Amino acid sequence: MPVWWFLAAAALWPLLSATFNLPDTAGVRHTSAEVRRSKAAVFAFIATDCPISKAYAPELARLHAEYAPRGVAFLAVHSDPAVSAPEVRRHVREFGYPFPTLLDPKQTLARALGVKVTLEVAVVSPEGRLLYRGRVDDRYVDFGKTRPAAHRQDLRAALEQILAGKPVTEPETRALGCAIPFELTPRPAEVTFTRDIAPILFRNCAGCHRPGEVAPFPLLTYQDAARRASLITRVTASRYMPPWLPAAGYGHFQGERRLTEAEIQRIRRWAEAGAPEGNPRDLPPPPEFPQGWRMGKPDLVLRMPKPFAVSADGPDRYECFVVPMGLNADRYVQAAEFRAGDRTLVHHALFLLDRSGLARRRGEQYPCFGTPGFLPSGALGGWTPGSSPIHMPAGISIPVRRGTDLVFQIHYHPIGKPGLDQSELALYFTAQPPQKHVVDIALVSRAIDIPAGDASYKVRDHFTTPVDVEAIGIIPHAHYICKDMKGWAVLPDGRKVWLIWIRDWDFNWQDQYHYAAPIRFPAGTRFEMEFTYDNSTANVRNPNHPPKRVRWGPDSTDEMAGLHIQVVPVHNADLPELGQALWGKIMRSVGGGFYRRPEAYSDKRF
């Protein structure tokens, strides 16, 4: 390599420690001599409990297969002293790392290379000079801001330049990940874990952050929380955690997972003070969670027909699974509880009813992004991590006719290693037919034709109810490039009542929201919605790079607009009138083309 290249590299950072001598998970010792024998060495800092670190395991394996034959050494580094060697060994085996993983509980390599998060990589020269530090690629922009596919392959570009004897054009990039738990030095502070932080975590986080649940690590003890204090601070300040999309003050819902600004600031002050523990006597009792089905023995348990295999990486999967219910008589569902077979894989699930047999004709399992491929005859709700069992309001049950099939529509999220899921749904019946009926007021638009680059494309819809109704819930739906959703009602006297406002829509966290108390609306109320889409390069969730024209459709690169308001007529006798008004709205919106396939609409806007 030319002399100027070494001079340029030397100006970046000091030498790596003259020597290192660390064991790997197999007990083999590795030293700086390996670096000297290579053309370059990649140190990949991993963690057993970090989702971003796990997600990159397959990509690191691919990079190793490509660059190791060209003289690049690869070494993973585990720097968390709280995780035992057997745990790391098991993790390495499960995620299939094809190169050694060094055990560095004293964090000497992380400190020497200036690495702060997992996953972060550092590339050093044979002399130990740091040539590149940062991310593998730009897939993860921020917590909750993930590109469907990477636009830049930063590590790959750096290795190509190094092997060509050129300086790295961008020697440092910002890696997003879980903070490496460097030793804290707590100091006296007014905010402590036992008195101030534990109640927040127990109330808002422990439902998912506990053993056996979907979250990657528990938050039940001081040790759990203290070593992740900086990460907790960051994800709560950005409101990525707890996951909750509706904005405060625009509808009040059951089970809101939203921290107050005071709670967020309390967490920040605690972390800045070095995460002091406080007086153990101040610690509240940890939350208790029931074992088995939360509502007791079910009347019927419906299970996916066979396990579904999820690959280690690649795009998220949206699959439908058809389960015959085997009912020989009509039944009424009062409650339901979902149990994911593997909660690390299942992102969310919807439960749909099919009396037509159309889903069954497609097979036991088929892909179904956006729409399930049939017109459901009903629905039993949905599940997202941390949600409670579904229980219908008083007087309401869901009729299920004999011969009906249940269809699970499940969103799977690859986690860096292959997995299997076989989820199930428990049903609880009541002998009482419904005294009230839930009606779906669907505010929708198929008039979606978004030019490439348009950052503020809007669609709207409205419906005026002819009868008195009570709103009990709301379900928003769009795909990747929607960014803002608004729903409101205008009363006959002109007053405005907010139904929901999601300022930063994220398809990965779609949910069904139930109002804390029914909201009564008189006849003559006009329900309105407005969805805004960002089809520009600035939208990191845009699946097209560069942006392309996007139209209405069920595919992942298409878009949709739906705000489904779940209402109950105040007077049962008004049900036919409401149904007729809604059917008329549907027929007017489709212009007589209700039964045509979406592609038959061509460029028409309707």
The tens digit of pLDDT for each residue in 220-264 reads: 999 999 999 999 999 999 999 998 999 999 999 998 888 999 999
Whether residue 53 is contained in a domain is answered as yes
Residue 138's pLDDT band (cuts 50, 70, 90): very high
Whether residue 355 is contained in a domain is answered as yes
Virtual torsion, Cα 164, 170, 172, 173, nearest 10 deg: -120
Whether residue 291 is contained in a domain is answered as no
Please give the helix or strand (H or E) that residue 134 lies within, else none: strand 130-134
Judge if 377 and 500 occupy the same domain: no
Judge if 493 and 382 occupy the same domain: no
Q: Which of 76-85, 131-140, 510-519 has the lowest mean pLDDT?
A: 510-519
Judge if 96 and 162 occupy the same domain: yes
Judge if 403 and 445 occupy the same domain: no
> Greatest CA separation found in the chain?
89
Do 323 and 405 form a contact (C-beta atoms < 8 A)?
yes
Judge if 569 and 453 occupy the same domain: yes
Q: Per the structure, how many domains does the chain have? A: 4
Decide: helix, strand or coil at residue 517: strand
Pairing of the two strands 72-78 and 40-46: parallel
Q: Cβ neighbours of residue 334 under 8 Å, at least 6 residues apart?
A: 391, 392, 397, 428, 429, 430
To the nearest whole number, what is the mean pLDDT of the chain? Answer: 90
- Which is nearest to 214 in space by CA: 399, 340, 125, 318? 340
Decide: helix, strand or coil at residue 484: strand
| Residue where one domain finishes, among candidates 153, 179, 205 | 179
- Which pLDDT tens digit goes with each residue over 480-500? 999 999 999 999 999 999 999
Pairing of the two strands 120-124 and 130-134: antiparallel
- Measure the CA–CA gap between 415 and 91, rounded to whole angstroms: 12
- Measure the CA–CA gap between 322 and 299, rounded to whole angstroms: 19
Partner residues linked to 309 by β-bridges? 420
Residue 124 has pLDDT above 60, yes or no: yes
Helices and strands (H and E) in the chain: how many: 13, 33
CATH for 131: 3.40.30.10
AA identity, residue 526: R
The per-residue pLDDT for 390 is 86
How large is the average pLDDT for residues 81-91? 95
- Measure the CA–CA gap between 316 and 507, rounded to whole angstroms: 11
Decide: helix, strand or coil at residue 580: helix
Per-residue burial over 324-339, b = 16 or more CB atoms within 10 Å of its CB, e = otherwise:
ebeeeeebbbbbbbbb
Whether residue 351 is contained in a domain is answered as yes
Residue 15 has pLDDT above 60, yes or no: no
Judge if 34 and 145 occupy the same domain: yes
Judge if 13 and 45 occupy the same domain: yes
Residue 591's pLDDT band (cuts 50, 70, 90): low
Judge if 311 and 406 occupy the same domain: yes
The domain in which residue 462 lies consists of 439-601
State how far Cα 261 lies from the chain centre: 23
The per-residue pLDDT for 211 is 87
The per-residue pLDDT for 347 is 85
Which residue reads 């939203």 in tokens? 258
Judge if 467 and 574 occupy the same domain: yes
- Measure the CA–CA gap between 243 and 521, rounded to whole angstroms: 29
Indicate if the alpha-carbon torsion angle 161, 100, 141, 534 is positive or negative: positive
Q: Which of the 8 DSSP states describes residue 545?
A: S
Judge if 553 and 421 occupy the same domain: no
How large is the average pLDDT for residues 454-475? 97
For residue 84, what are its two tokens? 């035992």
- Which pLDDT tens digit goes with each residue over 390-437? 888 888 899 999 999 999 999 998 989 999 999 999 999 999 899 988
CATH for 549: 2.60.120.230
Whether residue 295 is contained in a domain is answered as no
- Measure the CA–CA gap between 190 and 203, rounded to whole angstroms: 21
The per-residue pLDDT for 246 is 96
- Measure the CA–CA gap between 120 and 29, rounded to whole angstroms: 22
Partner residues linked to 101 by β-bridges? 76
Whether residue 246 is contained in a domain is answered as yes
Q: Output the CA angle 542-547-548, nearest 5 degrees.
A: 115
Judge if 88 and 154 occupy the same domain: yes
CA distances 375 to 186, 263, 296, 353, 458, Å, are: 58, 44, 32, 9, 26
- Which is nearest to 564 in space by CA: 468, 399, 439, 469? 439
Judge if 9 and 138 occupy the same domain: yes
- Measure the CA–CA gap between 257 and 241, rounded to whole angstroms: 8
How large is the average pLDDT for residues 183-192? 86
What are the backbone dihedrals phi and psi of residue 216, each rounded to the nearest 5 degrees, phi first? -75, -15
How large is the average pLDDT for residues 454-473? 97
The per-residue pLDDT for 175 is 97
- Measure the CA–CA gap between 64 and 78, rounded to whole angstroms: 18
Do 536 and 457 form a contact (C-beta atoms < 8 A)?
no
Whether residue 188 is contained in a domain is answered as no
| Residue where one domain finishes, among candidates 378, 408, 430 | 430
For residue 492, what are its two tokens? 């006959």
Whether residue 173 is contained in a domain is answered as yes
| Residue where one domain finishes, among candidates 403, 430, 457 | 430
- Which pLDDT tens digit goes with each residue over 264-291? 999 999 999 999 999 999 999 999 887 8
